[in-house]
Structure 1
Amino acid sequence: MTATTTFRERLYVTWWIWPLPLLAAALLAAEVHMGFPGVRSWLPYVILLPLTAALIAKMGSTKVEVADGELRAGDAHIPLELLGDVEIIAPEDRRRAMGRELDPAAFVVHRGWVKPLVRVRVNDPEDPTPYWVISTRRPDELAAAIKS
């Protein structure tokens, strides 16, 4: 973390999501094992279980950061001086904010396992994006970092 970083968060996948995909991968490997007995019967386990774990870990590699005068969410970044109002969306209002109230031109970094959201208006007349919607576990800290 650099000296100018005021907020950093990784939207990792919570522990309770891991068992179901790993179980599905193990069942799929068992199906292949039953269809191809013999020397190569261990191969689906060696391939599918680590591949599933790697995919779950990749899903949790998204970073949200306010550093060096920019807001970074995933691969995108925008200077803080181009940002306007910051609104914290409570978990109970998430469905409405991501549904009928969502502008199709909005930039969204949403992870279903992270409930709170932050909506940040974009004040750049050349940018067609009206606002960013970002999942975060610490919405108050992110809003404060953007405003400061």
Structure 2
Amino acid sequence: MQLSAAPYEERLTTPRSWWLISFLVGVSFALILLPFGTLPMLGGLVGGTAAAAVVASAYGSQRIRIVGDSLIAGEAKIPVSALGPSEVLDPEEARAWRTYKADTRAFLLLRAYIPTALRVEVTDPEDPTPYLYLSTREPEKLAAAIEAARAAQA
């Protein structure tokens, strides 16, 4: 397998404010357990914070990568030869494609805290998915990496 000319990898990490929210979830658990004593309260603080942090980390662990001749986005893996033109979406257009323009058959790697996205058409006639909607902080770089991987394949 040949490496692509312009490798790309992005992790869709959660915003920093989510870590504060994780701590506040822990405080909530501590307040709930306060009537049972100091030790349960501390356990609630630590356990609640840890559980919320694990959820935030897992939600922000999705990756978008170009590996060889394939685009890997979350759980989806598709060869770049099965992809058509891509469209860089600004925040307003990305919101439209997440809502009223969305097709229920599309693959969405959606993170609402990332305002920009890339929409890539799927040209494989065997695949019922019309397009991929990929939340990304760098849609231009991702589109260029897909094009470079397609050119390297040719």
Once the two structures are TM-superposed, the CA of residue 55 in structure 1 deviates from its matched residue by 1.2
Equivalent AA in structure 2 for residue 81 of structure 1: S
Once the two structures are TM-superposed, the CA of residue 115 in structure 1 deviates from its matched residue by 1.0
* Percent identity between the two aligned chains: 32
Residue in 2 that maps onto 1:17: 18
Between stretches 36-45 and 122-131, larger displacement belongs to 36-45
Structure 1 residues 69 and 31, CA gap change in structure 2 (3 angstroms): same
1:30-77 per-residue CA deviation (whole Å, 9 max, x = no partner) reads: 221x23115433221221111111111111100001111001100111
Equivalent AA in structure 2 for residue 47 of structure 1: G
- Give the length in aligned residue pairs: 146
Instruction: Provide structure 2 residue ranges, at least 5 long, that are not aligned to the other structure.
Output: 149-154
Task: Detail structure 1 runs of 4+ shifted over 6 Å in the superposition.
Answer: none
Between stretches 14-23 and 102-111, larger displacement belongs to 14-23
Residue in 1 that maps onto 2:132: 132
Equivalent AA in structure 2 for residue 27 of structure 1: S
Residue in 1 that maps onto 2:65: 65
Residue in 2 that maps onto 1:80: 80
Residue in 2 that maps onto 1:31: 32
1:125 & 1:93 partners in 2: Cα distance?
A: 26
Residue in 1 that maps onto 2:152: none
Calculate the TM-score normalised by the size of structure 2. 0.87
Q: CA RMSD in A?
A: 1.7
Structure 1 residues 39 and 7, CA gap change in structure 2 (3 angstroms): closer
